[in-house]
A and B are shown apart, each in its own frame.
Chain A
Amino acid sequence: MSSSRLVPRWMIALASVLILARIFAREWEERHPRVEHDIVPWRATLEQAEREAAATGKLILLEFSADWCGPCRVFDEEVLHDDAIAELISQRFVPFRVMESEAGAIATPGYDALQERFEVTGFPTLVVTLPGQAKPKRLVGAPGRRAMREFLEGALLAQARGRRETAPSATP
């Protein structure tokens, strides 16, 4: 009869197998990273986005995100991958994503300076720069599809209102 005080061998074997499986799973995931295709055509640099916005008269939409931020991933997957939202952004905005990363490889160069410039205090934060207005329009936290649409349409309305105010009146 075995002693009740013995550490069972199966427990040691199981722990060893699980540690090995963990190492292999990590290796496998690093070699086969999940490829996520963005529907939103993010611009490569802020300078490119600013040039394009100046040429087309579109608004710049900045998304401040981080790879360690859970709500950012949910927002990306469920809102930014929504066809209608992505189409609205593609057609009416010049999108640029500012990514903070612990890994460093996928971080946007100079992300900390951009966060400071646009006064970002949490993730995700959406910022729309409005020409002629000192304060950009911002949305902090992960909005749902409805709130995101309202935010984008609000920014477009503010742009249209700004244009009407600055344009010379046609009638005396």
Chain B
Amino acid sequence: MENFTPYSALFGGALIGLAATLMLLINGRITGISGIFGGMLLPVKTDALWRGVFIGGLLTGGAGYMLMSGTPIDLQTQTTPLMSIMAGFLVGIGTRMGSGCTSGHGICGIARASKRSFVSTGVFMFTAIVTVFLIRHVLGGAQ
């Protein structure tokens, strides 16, 4: 467990929770990234503007962090291009079919004690763990 970073994990997690809290308090909306992003795509819904502004905030936060800190975001990917495309496509279909992702179900839904979100979070955590196990320890593939 030499990579364990408990304090930055807790602090960063609390910031994520604070963002979701302000969103609900001010605008009455759930901060689910797949839902916000998906609602911007064709056919465009009538409320695409605030969704675009939120996504713009995400990008500004990422760019602002790099500019202010003067360091790149720590990013290590180990996927081949084909794996990136497969993974993205599955995440796109899955989050729309299952009505949410790590933020909407994991952070907001569980906080609302939504049974659907508890089930969803349990299922995607479990299948992700099984997937990593298969790739790393059974196939011994690209990782």
**Chain B associates with chain A:** no
The residues of B with any CB-CB pair to A shorter than 8 Å are none
The residues of A with any CB-CB pair to B shorter than 8 Å are none
